[in-house]
Chain A
Amino acid sequence: MKKFKLWDKAVIVFILILWQVVGMLEIVPAFMLPTPIEVLVALIGDWKLIGESCLITLYEAFTGMGAALLVSLVLAICMDRFKFVHEALFPICVVSQTIPTIAIAPLLVLWFGFGVTPKVLLVFLTCFFPLLVGLVSGFDSADKNVLRLYRSMGGGYFKTLFDVKFPYAMESFFAGLKVSASYSIVGAVIAEWLGGDGGLGVYMTRVRKSFQFDKMFAVIIVVSALSLLLMKFVEKLQNRVLKWKQ
């Protein structure tokens, strides 16, 4: 993702102004389409609650993603080390991806109640696969001749794994991590829609029920901003790890 150039910014500003003008002219009923300024006011006015909700959602997203990272890491190493683990489990993982997240969310709520658990689980389930695929295909992308040379110079399995396979895997791992990062926030929000004590999804459901469109817009902006920030962070991290590519 490139930095916004001048033209991109101009377009965004233009859209915001247009939106503001349309809202002020009341072409669309004001309560249905709040102006950007009203949204901003709502955002600032309800900041305390939105901020708290943010923290809850972020907590769920990070916990789910962290767990997914850990499990995919262990599983990817097992798959790399033992061919039969790969053959036994990888197809199942692939098939599991055809189950839409939204479809299992209600089931998770039925099983685990309205607490944090079903949210974290949902995030875990959405993040896990891109991470696993990133790592497994990354390990496979390591130059076979380099691996052989490394072994022949006395590198054992784990030494070779960490010194050679991991660095080779980083590019495809980060591709998976970026996808997971963007899924994680949305996954948590979707799980929260189905009920709970707090979080951006719960906040969303509440303001929707009371037709507070300005707060609705405000929270949508916050959700996208969080995803965007997380993606940016991952990107920064990637540039650092893959600095040899530049």
Chain B
Amino acid sequence: MVILEGKGLTKSFDGNKIIENVSLNLKKGEIVSLLGVSGVGKTTLFNLLSGLDVPDTGEVYLNGEAVTGMPGKVGYMQQSDLLLPFKTTLENVMIPLILKGVDKKEAKARAEAILTEFSLFESRSLYPGKLSGGMRQRAALARTFLTGCSVFLLDEPFSALDALTRGEMQRWFRNVIKEKGASGVFITHDVDEAILLSDRIYILSGEVGSITAEVQVELKERDAFESEFIELKKAILEKVK
């Protein structure tokens, strides 16, 4: 069942066409990645899908309903973490709950629980300016999850993490999505990450960005050392070029 769908999305800035006629979809319970070199228009596409920006042409549907240009329907973690510098880590993570009217005590408890999972509990009373890039990214990810949406758009959610934390966060992310029956699209330019985490990969490329390939990831083992994995990676790298 398709839960989020973009149809024929085109967007220009100051007369420069950035992406053209992009159609893609996300099914319930699925994790899809969007792969492409930097500057190709991945973030632009996400801004359209999340409703923060309005496409020149095309529509976005959530559960079959047109939501083009309507923000707040999906949990969107933007590329820059957008933590509020004057709120502590805990306060930042609590924002979506507070804005939804969740009781302050409960919001605090839930935020603390997710911060613990993200190894950020110790840093809960620090201001974002005092956190490392990886910690900020984790805090932003935690905040996105607390929006309580069932569809997530994550723009390079793991890019600032060190290798160890990254593996941990990736596993956590996949588990949570699968357990909750949620769905998500995430942006990456790391082919390994795309294969490891997603059920399906869209490749965005070209002078004017468009979907040039769609790859189904069907692996018995999600292990970067299996020959199957390496074959798939080769095939994808071929297509990204």
Contact = CB atoms under 8 A, between A and B. Distances in A.
A167 B84 CA distance: 9
B52 interface: yes
A81 interface: no
Interface string B126-137: 010100000000
Given A159-B99, A244-B129, A152 B86 contact: no
B51 A153 contact: no
B78 A244 contact: no
A145 interface: yes
B86 A154 contact: no
B99 A145 contact: no
B80 A154 contact: no
B67 to A, nearest CB: 12
Contact of B147 (A146, A153, A167): A153
Given A152-B52, A155-B99, A145 B78 contact: yes
A241 to B, nearest CB: 9
Given A145-B78, A148-B52, A148-B71, A153 B84 contact: no
Contacts, number: 45
B209 interface: no
Interface residues of A, number: 19
B72 interface: yes
A152 B95 contact: no
B71 A143 contact: no
A32 interface: no
A154 to B, nearest CB: 4
Contact of A154 (B50, B72, B127, B129): B72
Contacts of A56: none
B84 A152 contact: no
A208 interface: no
Interface residues of B, number: 20
Query: Chain B: interface secondary structure?
Result: loop
Interface string A148-175: 1111111100010000100110100000
Contacts of B80: 145
Nearest to B140: A149
A23 B230 CA distance: 92
A154 B97 CA distance: 10
Interface in A228-246: 242, 244-245
Contacts of B99: 150, 153-155, 159
B100 interface: yes
Q: Which of A145, A151, A242, A244 has the most CB of B within 10 A?
A: A244
Given A145-B78, A152-B51, A244 B86 contact: yes
A155 B100 CA distance: 9
Contacts of A159: 99
Interface in B55-99: 71-72, 76, 78, 80, 82, 84-87, 95-96, 99
A153 B71 CA distance: 8
Contacts of A146: 82, 84
Contact of A244 (B51, B72, B96, B127): B127
Contact of A167 (B51, B52, B86, B100): B86
Interface of B: 50-52, 71-72, 76, 78, 80, 82, 84-87, 95-96, 99-100, 127, 129, 147
Interface of A: 143, 145-146, 148-155, 159, 164, 167-168, 170, 242, 244-245
The 6 nearest A-B residue pairs measured at CB: A152-B71, A152-B72, A167-B86, A154-B99, A244-B127, A244-B86
Given A145-B80, A153-B95, 10 more contacts: A145-B82, A146-B84, A149-B76, A149-B78, A152-B51, A152-B72, A154-B96, A168-B86, A244-B85, A244-B86
